[in-house]
Amino acid sequence: MTKRTQLALATALVAALALGASGCSDPKKGSAGAGASNPAAANNGKALGGTPVKGGTLTVLSNQDFAHLDPARNWVMPAMDFGTRLLYRTLVTFKAEPGKGGSELVPDLATDLGTPSNGGKTWTFTLKEGVKYEDGSPIKAQDIKYNVERSFAPDLTGGPDYAAQYLAGGEGYKGPLQGQHLDSVKTPDDRTIVFELKRPVAEFSATATLPTFAPVPQSQEKGTQYDARPFSSGPYKIESYDRDKKLVLVRNEHWDPKTDTVRKAYPDKFVVVMGLKGGQIDDRIIAGEGADASAVQYMDMRPESAPKVLPKPEVKARLLAESQGCTEMLYLNNSRAPFNDPKVREAMQYAVDKEAVITAGGGPALNEVATAYLPPALSGGKQADTLKIAPAGDAAKAKELLKAAGKESLKVSLAVSTGDKGKAEAIQQGLSRVGIEVVVDTIDPGAYYDVIGDLSTTPDMTFTGWCPDYPSGSTWIPFVFDGRTIKEKGNQGNNSQFRDEATMKRIDEINAMADAKQANQAWIDLDAEIMKKSPAVPVMLKRKPLLVGPNIAGAYGHPVWTGTIDYGTVGLKDPSKSQG
């Protein structure tokens, strides 16, 4: 996910954050365990501003356009949260509730969480009666089948890969745009959809929360242009969309709240204003005047804004900062020199100064050092520390390993989203200690994943994170380290292009385990084995700092969706004060 950071102000920022952060001065201890002692986390686990009043215009201030709104292509936060809560519904979803309650699965378009049979290899869902699109036409099981099939189309890149990984007979399938369909997705009638899987998947109900399992009627197909105008099955529809500038959502009058126990749809209108600078967004919401009183920010508060927020109780009361549950990594391109050499990759584990990157990202109140790939939520609440490297790295050890590899000096490229420039500079400075020259290329956040996901334009290193789609190691390691998931275009997850036969064999063995506890431990053990091969360097774990205006109510960071604001329940205290 794209982040915002500024290295130059780091020293003053860390001092400001440390004032109220007992137990957080050591990044190794981390912010996740700091609880109420962490000033940034004071509002976690609750909704801010009370219960919203129906009506008014809620403004979303953003530095970027959406990467994708097409449900077959939408797989990054907060776009996925925005799409599935406002524009389209899925078979199953997560409860709209702060804290642990938000991890509960609930039916959405389906009547229940699905019925497994055939030893968990077959899953059947029945659609609720009376669910409709924005034009009043009924949502049919065939429309969900069609969107699942669309997720295989080579032109519709960027979306979740679960259908391709799980469905039987998907090998070589290229989607429905040329008239071919998948036999493993059956629709015996308009309200029944049946999925035939390659292997038992006990957690398929959770998989059905993803946008892949939202409906798209074939009559609305527009190929890559569907991104600009998804056909609504949710509480809002698109009134206008001026790319990179503004998106306006208004009510879908055919959405029936009687069929939807999750979305509250409080505002009459959502207006997303794009292309703003991050610091400008922070300052506007901190001031909270005019329309900005009824605004939320789309992407993270900038680290240098923390001193304007944390010491001021009236502003800090409007800050959300849930743990994201993701691991940010420096991905090394294993497909070519110098990172096709395991010794060079191992040297990188010691060369990176994670402490400096933590500082660049807002200090220990907003981040902690990552010591493994799997985030704490997937490893019993605490990350493993297989290599036991100090947070600032070990330059002497890195030099020793590079010398052994015959690479005492290197020049490599690093691509980051524009907002991660400060972190990139911290990485650059850390690697310069061991004779590695880093050329940093910053890319517009709206295009970042498309650029790094095209193997013809992938640089030597990329910096981004991976988050579990639901609490299971199966949503993490297979997507990040299975060489079979690598694509020429739209490559997601395995940005290292790591192809390792032993890892792939073990992934298949763990996926075949029927015992969830046994599988969970096996993922943790495999994480340690992959760490020794160093396809990527785990760098940091983050909170999601988000500011809301003084007229915002019902705002909380969703615990499953990386701490992003749950757009299904946010609204206004006083709609008459909103503008737009």
- Quick one: 512 exposed, middle or buried, by C-beta within 10 A (0-12, 13-18, 19+)? exposed
Note the pLDDT of residue 580: 65
* pTM of model > 0.75: yes
**What's the Cα-to-Cα distance from 544 to each of 23, 47, 106, 282, 559, rounded to whole Å?**
19, 15, 24, 14, 11
Match 């946010």 to its residue by tokens: 570
Alpha carbons 105 and 94: distance in angstroms, whole number: 5
| DSSP conformation class of 296 | E
Alpha carbons 326 and 373: distance in angstroms, whole number: 9
Q: List CB contacts of 105: < 8 A, sequence separation 6 or more.
A: 92, 93, 94, 95, 113, 205, 206, 209
Longest distance between any two alpha carbons in the chain, whole Å = 69
Alpha carbons 281 and 386: distance in angstroms, whole number: 40
pLDDT tens, position by position, 124-149: 999 999 999 999 999 999 999 999 99
**Vertex 445, ends 306 and 285: CA angle to 5°?**
35
Q: What are phi and psi of 164, to 5 degrees?
A: -65, -35
The secondary structure element, H or E, covering residue 208 is none
Alpha carbons 4 and 518: distance in angstroms, whole number: 38
Helices in 122-229 by DSSP H: which ranges? 141-150, 162-166, 204-207
Provide the b/e sequence for 133-153 (b: ≥16 CB within 10 Å): bbeeeebbbbbbbbbbbbbbb
How many beta carbons lie within 10 A of that of residue 275, not counting itself?
Answer: 12
Does residue 27 have a cis bond before it (omega within 30 degrees)? no
Q: Note down pLDDT in tens along the chain; length 580 residues.
A: 222 222 222 222 223 333 223 222 222 233 333 344 677 788 888 999 999 999 999 999 999 999 899 999 999 999 999 999 999 999 999 999 999 899 999 999 999 999 999 999 999 999 999 999 999 999 999 999 999 999 999 999 989 989 999 999 999 999 999 899 999 999 999 999 999 999 999 999 999 999 999 999 999 999 999 999 999 999 999 999 999 999 999 999 999 999 999 999 999 999 999 999 889 999 999 999 999 999 999 999 988 898 899 899 999 999 999 999 999 999 999 999 999 999 999 999 999 999 999 999 888 888 999 999 999 989 988 899 999 999 999 999 999 999 999 998 999 999 999 889 999 999 999 999 999 999 999 999 888 998 999 999 999 999 999 999 988 899 999 999 999 999 999 898 999 999 999 999 999 999 999 888 899 999 999 999 999 999 999 999 989 999 999 999 999 999 999 999 999 999 999 999 997 6
Note the pLDDT of residue 3: 26
Note the pLDDT of residue 37: 60
pLDDT tens, position by position, 250-295: 999 999 999 999 999 999 999 999 999 889 999 999 999 999 999 9
DSSP output for 67-134: S--STTT--STTHHHHIIIII---SEEE-S-SGGGGG-EEESSBSSS-EEEGGGTEEEEEBPTT-B-T
Note the pLDDT of residue 445: 86
User: Which tokens sit at 225?
Assistant: 């242009």
Q: Find the distance separating the first CA and the last CA of the chain, reported in whole Å.
A: 29
- Length of the chain as a residue count: 580
Count the alpha carbons within 13 Å of 552 in the hemisphere toward its beta carbon: 35
The answer to whether the beta carbons of residues 359 and 368 sit under 8 Å apart is no
Least Cα distance to 494 among 507, 509, 511, 512 occurs for 507
- The single-letter code of the amino acid at 556 is Y
Helices in 19-140 by DSSP H: which ranges? 79-82
